[in-house]
Structure 1
């Protein structure tokens, strides 16, 4: 979003504002996407003012509160973003013209190119840096909602096989984010979100970062909300001929991170895996291979 929906009004009223309101207004003018995506407290922090100043600015501009301002900016972002329905229409037209086989082929070609980009040295450096930070943490809190949930769930699952270091922040009974309240700067929040960014994910990450908990983010852009607060960022492509963004590159990163972090566990991790195997065998978790007839 190049310009926010209130830009003209802010400029017109700017001279009559107090110094604090001008600081907040200048932030809104320069960062319209942040107004749509970030919490009011985080915006105030970045602007260098108190949260109450943001509320007073909204009232100065004729609104009841800052939530109304955020909603107007969020609506502008949605207009600029075609959304799932808009992208689905484009896919349907293309698929009808080219056929199902071509649709499948285009998606696979796209994924192949994206995986090749993930193997570039600069991307591998980011993955290694993230894995080292995760390995050094006392606990790893994992958060991913909507399409990003399988990404962090897989990392949590693999790490649960080699110990008790991982904590999944899920949404059961609305208590998903409660556990992050026990995190300290000895821990790490591993979080994944791609556009359109899930508000709760961003707000929990902002909360954790504000408490001094390092954030490791899997996201899709250097200017994504999570990238702005993360200590380590892994960027994954999401473009696809499908109407829904692809999560395959992010899932690949999840598999790599999980394997590398587990590998750092050494003999203790091996002992935990043996215990897990014994536990699964005792519960008859997996089907046993059938013996061939003699």
Structure 2
């Protein structure tokens, strides 16, 4: 009999009271078949967790051994152990970069080679500590701790890696190059903007130092251009009625209805309705 698990679900059902119906939430439970255990995933998760524990143990062991070696020549013990921590962190960081490039074997090659070089240096430092302590054999055995951790992580990463075929890899490279180009242009445009702002600020500073006035600024307030409304507005001769204002506008050459409305509101009634002004304008034009 297959295994099942109980799942709670909900649905809207009609419910009527006194002739009024509303949709209410009905909660119910159903038994769903439960898939069998994915033992492959469980085993892989366990192996990955074991590799993580081995990596931590390798860091502790190498740091203790190399730190004791450096402490012989470094006055500050904390500094010696901090420097010793670098040896294993370097190749572990290279392993992390190799993990990030697991879909691209070409990009993963460099961190893989760098990780092996860093591992060899760390193992040599641990072996040197055993040799200086007079226990060369024990130092060689101790150095294999980092080597075993590296081997374990290499096997795990190879199992997680999913290399792409040649055509898919080329497509991914093209998309990566296109996105990288757009990202690079953001930095280039930002650099060009800063350069243009620096040039503008330099020109402004030089103009101020030489006493030259900006080219776009008028020489005096009298030379400032008048707005179109000021050019087309005739002078006002005291208070006016709407009819007098419209007649004055016509005699001054203002023929556009919108301009007439603006003039009436300026010299006669600021709240004059546009319909009334236009009606008066049509009436005066017919009688003219």
TM-score w.r.t. length of structure 1: 0.17
TM-score w.r.t. length of structure 2: 0.17
Higher relative contact order (CA 8 A, sep 6+): 1
